[in-house]
Amino acid sequence: MRPAARLLAAVLPLASLLCACVPARAAGPVRAPAAAPADTARLRRTLDDLLRGYPGIAGVSVLNLNSGERVSIRGGETFPTASLIKVAVLVALLDQVNRGSIGLDERISMLRRDRVGGSGVLQYMDGGLQPTVADVAWLMITISDNTATNLILDHLNVKTVWEKMDSLGLPHTRIHSKTFLRSTSIAVDSSVKYGLGVTTPDETVRLLELLYHGRAVSPAMDSLAMEMLRNNQDATKLARWLPEDLRFAHKTGEVDQSRSDCGVMYGPDAPVAVCVMTRENTSTSYAPDNPANLLMARIGLAVFRHYNPSVSVPDPPR
């Protein structure tokens, strides 16, 4: 388990005020004799079984980044993103950095009125703080800081994120407004329906595929994005029962009736992009064992086992 304090101390002086605790993952992997990977039909049957009876609507998209094998269940349907849309914001930000329009070392002046609630630590800091663009990007991804997200959007504007997603062939991936400021929405009807943002599982997997291969912005910028995603502190969903030493670059999102987690598992047999999104959940609990979190944990383990048969992973607790 990697405490957030240790991570953020390297990127932001104010991080010493923060301590985030995350659930432990499964014990480290035990190597077993390599086996031939199972076919995607078997994986789809496994996923169908896991989704059966789920109290809500779930979409899943899986891509083997080596072979190109895909499994998609409701992958083309739109879902609320909550904080998952911050990956698109990060990509748009790094695109502007790559163009020379914004510098990662630029200082941002945070005023007291910039602070918003929800996740993050900047809401507790006094006005006058001057983090760098890189600082707020790290906070936006690793602990999903909402104030940091808004500070970035002040530099970008929402429409810039749309334009970048369009250039990547992702027309359904949209952020609507700044966080907790729906009055800034540039798509009011969609904002009312989906909240902060909207996307599909298939489009999110495509964005992760582009990042993995260094084709979303540039190899250097995409590598930085993946490093940030690998340090995400939320291990309650897909990451929950994965091997402790597995590199997993991902971003989560959650609001009352929608929970999501999407990322790239750097498995020893095959790297895999996986995205699970939910909507219309009957349970709005934020407890670690809510049905959405457990569904994603089971899917994360099933996908990892399917594409990485050389790794023996303990069964999850009942």
pLDDT at site 318? 76
The answer to whether 2 touches 24, Cβ cutoff 8 Å, is no
Interacting residues of 106 by C-beta distance below 8 A, sequence separation 6+? 132, 133
Based on the fold, state whether residues 250 and 304 are members of the same structural domain.
yes
Question: What DSSP state is assigned to residue 149?
Answer: H
Calculate the alpha carbon distances from 295 to 77, 215, 240 in Å.
Answer: 18, 31, 11
Rounded Cα distance, 154 and 40, in Å: 43
Q: Which of 286, 295, 262 is nearest to 86 (CA)?
A: 262
Cβ atoms of residues 287 and 8 within 8 Å: no
96 lies in the same domain as 66:
no
Q: How many domains does the chain have?
A: 2
In a domain, 191, yes or no: no
Cα 213 to chain centroid, rounded:
17
272 shares its domain with 137: no
In a domain, 164, yes or no: yes
| Torsion over CA: 133, 195, 261, 64 (sign) | negative
* Residue 10 placed within a domain: no
Query: What was the pLDDT predicted at 219?
Result: 98
User: In this structure, is residue 251 part of a structural domain?
Assistant: yes
Taking CA atoms, 248 is separated from 223, 240, 276, in Å, by: 13, 11, 15
Residue 68 and residue 35 share a domain? yes
3-state SS assignment for residue 275: strand
Does the residue 308 lie in any domain? yes
User: In degrees, to the nearest 5, what angle opens at C-alpha 196 toward C-alphas 190 and 202?
Assistant: 80
304 and 233 fall within a common domain: yes
Q: Whole-model pTM above 0.85?
A: yes
Q: Is 197 left (phi over 0), alpha (psi -120 to 50) or beta?
A: beta
130 and 208 together in one domain: no
Residues 103 and 165 in one domain: yes
Specify the CATH number for the domain of residue 63: 3.40.710.10
Strands of the sheet with 57-64, listed across from one edge: 70-73, 57-64, 271-279, 258-266, 248-255
Question: How does strand 271-279 pair with strand 79-80?
Answer: unpaired
Return the pLDDT at 186: 82
Residue 317 in domain: no
The answer to whether 63 touches 70, Cβ cutoff 8 Å, is yes
Tens place of pLDDT per residue across the chain (318 aa): 444 443 444 444 444 333 333 344 444 444 443 444 447 999 999 999 999 999 999 999 999 999 999 999 999 999 999 999 999 999 999 999 999 999 999 999 999 999 999 999 999 998 899 999 999 999 999 999 999 999 999 989 899 999 999 999 999 999 999 888 888 888 888 889 999 999 999 999 999 999 999 999 999 999 999 999 999 999 999 999 999 999 999 999 999 999 999 999 999 999 999 999 999 999 999 999 999 999 999 999 999 999 999 999 999 887
Domain holding 204, by residue range, is: 30-77+200-312
Whether the CB-CB separation of 275 and 298 falls below 8 Å is answered with no
Q: Which of 131, 160, 175 is the last residue of a domain?
A: 175
Assigned domain for 212 exists: yes
Beta strands in the chain (DSSP E): 30-31, 57-64, 70-73, 79-80, 174-175, 197-199, 248-255, 258-266, 271-279, 311-312
How far apart CA 304 and CA 306 sit, in angstroms, is 5
Q: Are 209 and 297 within one domain?
A: yes
CA nearest neighbour of 229 among 212, 241, 254: 212
96 and 171 both lie in a single domain? yes
Cα distance between the two ends of the chain? 21
Retrieve residue 230's tokens: 């690998």
Rounded Cα–Cα distance for residues 292 and 60 (Å) = 13
Domain identity same for 71 and 205? yes
Do 64 and 103 reside in the same domain of the chain? no
* CA distances (Å), origin 203, targets 136, 144, 241, 272: 25, 21, 25, 15
**Cross-strand pairs, 253:** 260
| Side-chain half-sphere exposure of 256, counting CA atoms within 13 A | 3
Let me know whether 218 and 308 are in one domain: yes
Question: What is the structure's pLDDT at 30?
Answer: 42
DSSP character at residue 24? -
If we measure between CA atoms, which residue out of 22, 76, 74 comes closest to residue 44?
74
Domain membership flag for residue 282: yes
